[in-house]
Amino acid sequence: MSIKPWSFSRIKAFEQCPKQFYHEKILKQYPVVETEAMRYGTEFHKAAEDFMQGDAPLDPRFEFALPALESLKSKQGDKLCERKMGLTENLEPCDFFAKDVWFRGIADLIILDDDLAWVIDYKTGKNARYADKGQLELMALTVFKHFPQVKKVRAGLLFVISKDLIKDSYEEQASPILWNKWLTNYNRMETAFDKDVWNPKPSGLCRKHCPVIECVHNGSH
């Protein structure tokens, strides 16, 4: 058992509830069951990748996103789709599946234009109400490691249904400060693992949305 490699989604799951994280991600007692929404998101990502990388028309089901995708496709620079990136514990770039991979991230779209990069993550949720730009920050930090010529990242969460674009920008020179924040978050997760202490964090999600029946806050009790 291990908490490595970690990712944005893993650390957010831990922060939401350490006990649920332990049973789902460490013990793997409750495998993720693919929902219709998850399947839709996967299909959109594949259609967007095909559109960006070739001359194929966009799947008609997703024509509502065509203006946004065309705008991205028209930007100058090399376009990398569904880019899998890894980092070692020393924050050195490595393959996603390397034996010493410590962090993993997948960027839906990277556009490399000299010392500038665009990083886009597609979201197929209905709105941007709960958008979390932390994912963009981690992707930007990883891009700086994998593409050392990049000194600035412009990033966005593109909510393709509501047409919201949640934007931010990052400078490579600020990387040490940003990494310190994420390392602090990671260390909390590592401490829980080392001490084998996984405290529940009760919330309104417990009774109806958490499968962990071992927890006293679960709705089955």
How far apart CA 69 and CA 99 sit, in angstroms, is 35
* pLDDT tens sequence across 66-108: 999 999 999 999 999 999 999 999 999 999 999 999 999 999 9
Could you give phi then psi for residue 9, rounded to 5 degrees? -65, -35
**In this structure, are residues 168 and 203 in contact, taking their beta carbons and an 8 Å threshold?**
no
User: Radius of gyration (Cα) for the chain, nearest Å?
Assistant: 19
Average pLDDT of the chain is 94
Residue 62: other Cβ atoms inside 10 A: 18
How far apart CA 20 and CA 116 sit, in angstroms, is 39
- Assess whether pLDDT exceeds 80 at residue 1: no
pTM, two decimals, is 0.93
